[in-house]
Amino acid sequence: MVCIAAISNRLDFFKVKPEEVPDRITSLQSELRNTQKELETLKVQLAIAKSDSLLQTAQTVGDSKIIVAQLEDVDPESLKTAAERLLQKIGNGAVVLGSVPEEGKVSIVAAFSSEVNQKGLQAGKFVGAIAKICGGGGGGRPNLAQAGGRDASKLPEALQQAESELKSALG
């Protein structure tokens, strides 16, 4: 009797008859997937909105422009999208963005134009070395790379190092 009562209470949760439970679960799973997709889209849009204000901070170094900045609470994928978009807007240059998406995690992205690559800088090697400051590592392609770390308190130092190295290499 107790088991039947417990099952009955669980079915009340779904607000359906017992024979409709499988369809209701499928429906809820679909809703969850759609909500997760919407959330990801909103995260990217937020990162882009935050990053657009960084265009004003672009520094001219030699014949390139650089942007090195920290964006608060931006997940790695959105950070990557923001860096790529900023690089498109500045053209010849380098963008290095860092974020602490959650406690104990650091995310860093580097996006370099082909002109920067021709000067001997590769995003993959560059971001990997910068991430070591934060207790992490990473890599990627010559033009786009991601890295992670565990020490969020070191992110400002890592970004300062990135800016210094970019100015030295491109100046």
Indicate the domain borders of the chain: 49-170
The CATH number of 49-170, from 2.130.10.10, 3.80.10.10, 3.40.50.720, 3.10.310.40, is: 3.10.310.40
Residue 111's nearest CA partner among 69, 145, 137, 78 is 145
Q: Is 102 helix (H, G, I), strand (E, B) or coil?
A: strand
- Model confidence pLDDT, tens digit, residues 136-167: 998 899 999 999 999 999 999 999 999 999 99
pLDDT band at 2 (very low <50, low <70, confident <90, very high): very low
- Model confidence pLDDT, tens digit, residues 18-50: 777 778 788 888 888 888 888 777 777 776 676
